[in-house]
Amino acid sequence: MLAVALFYQYSVGDEPCQVCIHVRIWVAAFTLLSLVMCILPRRPFSQFMGQLLLVFSAAGMWERSWYLYKLENGIGDGSCEFYLGFPGWFALDKWFPFIFEVRNLCSYTPELLLGITMAEGLVAIASALIAVALWGLYLNVSSDQ
């Protein structure tokens, strides 16, 4: 997902907005969690916590994706800033500006395939991730009993 986002940013020229960067942060959290879970030993508690954090990450991604979809379609009242507003100890936009720097205001997202916009695709992908993560959590809990 990050590769697609960076392709659209650097090859197509669609600069990311604040909410797009929030989605990227959730995707990065999801990816880092996956890497950590590959390294940790397979213990019931670590597997349960990893699965729980995966559900949380997917839900965070879904919330930001849904917010972006609502902004794109003028649903409700929402706004978008030109900066992340994170504290200095978590300045991802300063540390990794090529990935996490806000460069545009929220307005519309590019079309991906078959008339599906990036916001719509992100909502669908995040929904699928939540379903898979919940299924994995269920399997984790049911196998421990």
Number of separate helices (H) and strands (E) present in the chain:
6, 0
Classify residue 118: in a domain, yes or no: yes
Q: Is 132 helix (H, G, I), strand (E, B) or coil?
A: helix
pLDDT in tens, 93-135: 889 889 988 888 877 787 888 888 888 999 999 999 999 999 9
Q: Decide if pLDDT at 143 tops 80.
A: no
Tens of pLDDT, residue by residue over 14-71, are 888 888 899 999 999 989 998 998 888 778 788 888 889 999 999 999 999 999 899 8
Residue 145 confidence (pLDDT) above 60: no
The answer to whether the CB of 110 falls within 8 A of the CB of 118 is yes
Residue 123 counted as domain residue:
yes
Burial of 63 (0-12, 13-18, 19+ CB in 10 A): middle
Q: Would 7 be classed as within a structural domain? A: no
Domain carrying residue 35: 15-143
pLDDT for 63 equals 94
Domain assignment present for residue 69? The answer is yes
CATH number for the domain including 88?
Answer: 1.20.1550.10
List alpha helices for 40-117, DSSP H.
44-73, 92-95, 97-100
- Establish if 136 belongs to a structural domain: yes
Judged by average pLDDT, the poorest of 5-9, 71-75, 79-83, 93-97 is 79-83
- pTM comes to 0.86
Which residues are CB-neighbours of 28 under 8 A, at least 6 positions away? 2, 99
The structural domain count of the chain equals: 1
Give ∠ CA 50-36-19 in degrees, rounded to 5: 75
Position 2 in a domain: no
Q: Is 82 inside any structural domain?
A: yes
